[in-house]
Amino acid sequence: MFNQEILFLSILNLVLFVGLISLLGYLVIRKFIEIKHQNQLADVKNKLQPSVINYLLEGYFGNSFTFKKRVYLQAMEELFVNYAEVLTEEKVKMHILDFADHHFKHIYVKNLSSRRWSTRMNTLYYIEELGMESLIPTMLNRMDHRKTSQTEKVQMLRILATFQHPKIVEYVSEFNFMSDSDYKGILLKLNHQLLDLLFLNYHQHNAQLKYALLDVIYITSNLQYIHLVEDIFKHSIGEERIRSYKALVKLGYAQDINKFIPLVHSMVWEERMLTAKLLGTVKEQQYLPALRELLRDPIWWVRTQAGHAIASYPNSTEILQDVVQTEQDQFAKDLALEWLQKGVKNENARNHLE
């Protein structure tokens, strides 16, 4: 009754089984070749190493090598990437670039239009590591290609940013799929002229780009944009307001501290935390009551920041001891105690390390 089904399933199992066995055969052979290749690569790298150092520093190889074989080029690629991270002199960079433009460029051009995504990605990493500006036109062509993924685009923008390519402003404003950490990685590489162009159209950008721009001011402490940030702080809400406040605090914007005191009672805990930080930078006794209030905050981050701020006062030990003795609130007490102990702990850790 089920003869046909049984026959079908038997054949299916057999076919799959044979298929898997052949796949295994293929993978095993591939693995053998791969292992052999890896060993060979390691050998070549060892052989090349002294000459490569010579080349990087002096501009010529001690021995003559023919870079026709794939394994030699791959070894050079890996050695260069290793050295590019350690040796940052201009001269070394020039020599790497000379070699790369001569030997790798045509391979990379081909790789960039490879059908395999990971090949394209790896090539982009190498282009960034080796600093190959000459491939920018090829990348710009790829940028609008239908198959180019978002990850590739982000990586390309990083490379464009490294070379301060003017097109970057357009792309950054246009692409709305990036996260603020992607944006930040790119913006932090840009020079003032390009950043200015982006700040010029600040209000037209998408939220993530806005956040990233504010964070860039925060990270670089760039005073040039202080009025813009102040303006944003006044007229924004939510995350944008918090980030602009964070930048203001970092810039040490303390012309009129009293303006910010009401934020001790802000509904947004980030704002309370930042206010604690701000008060910590001015270290004036009149703000101590506000800080002590923040020490009782339900949010741990606010309490810690308040503790940190108090600890930066010149008479911090006295204040903290007073908190420990007089304060009713357990958290405030706990935190004061922690900050009192912290000095001791760090001291101990340092001694141990030495």
Could you tell me the smallest distance in angstroms from the CB atom of residue 6 to other proteins?
5
Q: Is 136 in the site for other proteins (CB under 8 A)?
A: no
226, 244 Cβ separation under 8 angstroms: no
CB 64, min distance to other proteins, A: 30
Q: Is 180 in the site for other proteins (CB under 8 A)?
A: yes
What are 174's two structure tokens? 């246009």
- Interface with other proteins (CB under 8 A), residue total 52
Distance, CA of 58 to CA of 98 (rounded, Å): 13
Question: Judged by CB under 8 A, does residue 39 bind other proteins?
Answer: no
Q: Is 283 within 8 Å of 308 (Cβ atoms)?
A: no
Using alpha carbons, select from 150, 159, 221, 214 the residue that is nearest to residue 184: 214
Q: Which stretch binds other proteins (CB under 8 A): 61-69, 135-143, 264-272, 341-349?
A: 341-349
- 145 contributes a contact to other proteins by CB under 8 A: no
For position 152 contacting other proteins by CB under 8 A, the verdict is no
Among 103, 185, 270, 288, binds other proteins (CB under 8 A): 185
Indicate which single residue of 53, 71, 87, 121 sits in contact with other proteins (rule: CB under 8 A). Answer: 121
Retrieve residue 145's tokens. Answer: 């290609």
Q: Does 86 bind other proteins (CB under 8 A)?
A: no
Query: Distance (Å, rounded) from C-alpha 284 to C-alpha 278?
Result: 11
Q: 100-119 mask for other proteins (x: CB under 8 A)? A: ----------------xxxx
Report the alpha-carbon distance of residue 281 to residue 108 in Å, rounded: 51
For other proteins, the closer CB: 55 or 243: 243
214-243 residues in contact with other proteins (CB under 8 A) are 215, 218-219
346 binds other proteins (CB under 8 A): yes
Is residue 349 a contact partner of residue 337, using CB atoms and an 8 Å limit? no
- Nearest 5 degrees, angle CA 291-CA 297-CA 302? 70
- Tell which one of 110, 147, 265, 345 touches other proteins (CB under 8 A): 345
Cα–Cα dist 79/173, whole Å: 37
| Position among 95, 142, 153, 184 found at the interface with other proteins (CB under 8 A) | 184
In angstroms, rounded to a whole number, what is the distance separating the alpha carbons of residues 269 and 299?
A: 7
Is 177 a residue that touches other proteins (CB under 8 A)? no
Residues 6 or more apart whose Cβ sits within 8 Å of residue 136:
159, 160, 163, 165
For residue 119, the minimal CB distance to other proteins (Å) is 7
**Can residue 330 be called a binding residue for other proteins (CB under 8 A)?**
yes
56 contacts 90 by C-beta, under 8 angstroms: no
Closest by alpha carbon to 229, among 209, 239, 243, 219?
243
Which residue carries 């026709």 as its tokens? 68
User: By CB under 8 A, is residue 354 in contact with other proteins?
Assistant: no
Among 181, 201, 224, 326, binds other proteins (CB under 8 A): 181
Tokens of 194: 């390009």
Q: Using the minimum distance from each CB to other proteins, give the nearer residue, 126 or 253.
A: 126
Binding to other proteins by residue 35, rule CB under 8 A? yes
- Is residue 282 a contact point for other proteins (CB under 8 A)? no
Question: Are 340 and 310 within 8 A, CB to CB?
Answer: no
- Which tokens belong to 67? 């870079």
For residue 65, what is the DSSP state?
-
Give the contact letters, 4-33, x = binds to other proteins (CB under 8 A), - = no: -xx--xx-xx--xx--x--xx--xx--xx-
- Torsion, Cα 5 10 11 16, to 10 degrees, reads 130
Where do contacts with other proteins occur on this chain (CB under 8 A)? 1-3, 5-6, 9-10, 12-13, 16-17, 20, 23-24, 27-28, 31-32, 35, 116-119, 121-122, 125, 129, 155, 179-182, 184-185, 208, 215, 218-219, 300, 304, 330-331, 333-334, 337-338, 341, 345-346, 348-349, 352
